[in-house]
Structure 1
C-alpha cells in the first residue's frame, strides 16, 4: 500500500492481503515498498493497514506470504500464536494508537507448538522450561477441538486459530470496544505450507451481499 493512500477499511485490508497472497502463490510477487524511498518516507511514522498475529514459524513470514513491504503490516508473532499480556498490549497498540482496522490471526498447518501440546496431553507429561507455558496457553484449544471430534493436527490448528480470534475481544476491553464500535474486524486465516495459499476460517467482516432488513412501513 502506498504511503499516499487512504487507510482502507477492514474489507479493503483483507482484499489487499488476499491479492498479495495470490501473487505469492503464483510466483508473481511485486515486492512493493521495499526500496530506499519507502524507507525514507517512514522515518516520521507508520500507518500499517493490517495487523498480523501469527506463529513464529520461520516458514510463515507475513510480509513475504502477503507480498507487502516496509510499513504495510504490524506483525506480532509467538510460537503457536499463543496469547499473553505482551501480545494483547501489542495488539492494543496497533488498533488503538495506530488505528489499524483489521487483525488477522494467522495459523498454519503442521504447527509444531500445537503438536507439542497434543503430545503433552496424550502422554500426560508436560515439557520443561518455558515451552511448558506455551503448551499451557494452547491447551484449551486442543481440549475444545477434541471435544468437537477433531483429532488431526490441522483440524486442531484451525480450531485454535478461530478460538484465538474469538478470545481477543473478550480478553481485551480495548479490542472489544474497537470491534463494537465497528472500527475493527478480526479474521482467522490458515496458511498452507505446501502451496503458500491462505484460506479464511472465520471473519467478523460483514458480507456485502447479506440481505438488509425490510424497512418499516408506516
Structure 2
C-alpha cells in the first residue's frame, strides 16, 4: 500500500535527501540560536534549520499544515488511519527533523497528538504538560520549533474531561488545597478558567462548565503565546506562523477548532 506523503517516507529505505545530509547541530549551533533569541523584536529573523542547504525542503504554509492535520484527524476519528511503516525514513530523521506543526498538548494518557492527527514520526513537534498551559519551558520549546525548525503552525490542544481543568474549577469554587506542586499548575491555569467560572449561571451544568472552562484555558494559552516576545509574538503577528486552538473529544477522537 502506498505510504502517506512525508519528507521522510517519500524515499526508498536507507536514502537521504540532499538537504538532510548535514546534522542539525552543524547548521545551527547553540550560540547562534541564543543570539537569535537575544535579538530585538524589530531585528529578529527566523532562520530555519535548512536555510544553508542547497536543496531546501518544500515550503509548507500554516494553512496547509492545519489542513493536513485536520484531514488526518478526520481519518483518525473515522477509524481509518493511513497505513504507514514507522521505520521508513528513519535514516533521514537521524540527520534532521522537518515537522509541519508544533502542538502544546495536555499530558493526559488518552490523547497522543501524533495519533490524533494521523501523522508519522518526525511530522509534529509536541510539547506536553498537564493542562496544556504555556510556562517558560514550554514557550522556549515552541521558540525552538519556530525559530530553528521553521514550523509554520502552532496549535494549543485541550481535551474533553480534562482533570487539570476540573481541579482548577474546584480550587476556584471551593478553595480546595492541593498537595505538592499542584498549586503552581492551578495558578498557571487560573487566568483562563476563573473568568468562565465566575460568569457561569446557576443553571449551567457541571459538564457545560468544564467544557467552557477547557475552551477558556486553550484561548488563554494562545494569548500567552501571542504575547511571548520576541520570537513567538513577532512570528505570529507577522503571520509567518499560524496559531490556533483545538479541543480533542476523547469519546469520538474528533478535534474541534476553537
Q: Place the TM-score, normalised by the shorter chain, in its bin.
A: 0.7 to 0.9
How many angstroms apart in 1 are the aligned matches of 2:132 and 2:229? Answer: 16
Kindly indicate whether residue 253 of structure 2 is the aligned counterpart of residue 196 of structure 1.
yes
Q: Give the TM-score, by structure 2 length.
A: 0.74
State the partner residue of 2:110: 59
Contact map agreement 1:13 1:49 (CA 8 A) in 2: yes
How many angstroms apart in 2 are the aligned matches of 1:52 and 1:128? Answer: 29
Instruction: Measure how far apart 1:148 and its partner are.
Output: 4.2
Kindly report the root-mean-square deviation, in angstroms, between the aligned alpha carbons of the 2 structures.
1.5
How many angstroms apart in 2 are the aligned matches of 1:194 and 1:35? Answer: 26
**1:136-215 alignment, distance < 5 Å:** 136-149=187-200, 152-201=209-258
Kindly indicate whether residue 61 of structure 2 is the aligned counterpart of residue 9 of structure 1.
yes
Kindly indicate whether residue 184 of structure 2 is the aligned counterpart of residue 133 of structure 1.
yes
Q: Name the SS of the counterpart of 1:88 in structure 2.
A: helix
Kindly indicate whether residue 83 of structure 2 is the aligned counterpart of residue 26 of structure 1.
no
How many angstroms apart in 2 are the aligned matches of 1:182 and 1:125? Answer: 41
How many angstroms apart in 1 are the aligned matches of 2:195 and 2:83? Answer: 39
Instruction: Measure how far apart 1:60 and its partner are.
Output: 1.0
How many angstroms apart in 1 are the aligned matches of 2:156 and 2:177? Answer: 26
Q: Give the TM-score, by structure 1 length.
A: 0.87
Contact map agreement 1:50 1:74 (CA 8 A) in 2: yes
Contact map agreement 1:31 1:69 (CA 8 A) in 2: no
Contact map agreement 1:24 1:64 (CA 8 A) in 2: yes
Computing the radius of gyration from Cα coordinates, the structure with the larger value is 2
Alignment deviations for residues 40-80 of structure 1 (CA, whole Å, 9 cap, x no partner): 22111001000111100011100011001111000000100
State the partner residue of 1:110: 161
Between 1:64-73 and 1:124-133, the stretch displaced more is: 124-133
Contact map agreement 1:46 1:71 (CA 8 A) in 2: yes
Q: Name the SS of the counterpart of 2:89 in structure 1.
A: helix
List runs of 5+ in structure 2 lacking aligned partners. 11-56
Structure 1 runs of 4+ aligned residues shifted over 6 Å read: none
Q: Name the SS of the counterpart of 1:36 in structure 2.
A: coil
Contact map agreement 1:31 1:68 (CA 8 A) in 2: no
The structure in which a higher percent of residues are strand is: 1
Paired positions, count: 200
Contact map agreement 1:7 1:49 (CA 8 A) in 2: no
Instruction: Measure how far apart 1:199 and its partner are.
Output: 0.7
Between 1:84-93 and 1:5-14, the stretch displaced more is: 5-14
Match of 1:84 among 128, 135, 144: 135
Instruction: Measure how far apart 1:147 and its partner are.
Output: 4.2
Instruction: Measure how far apart 1:109 and its partner are.
Output: 1.0
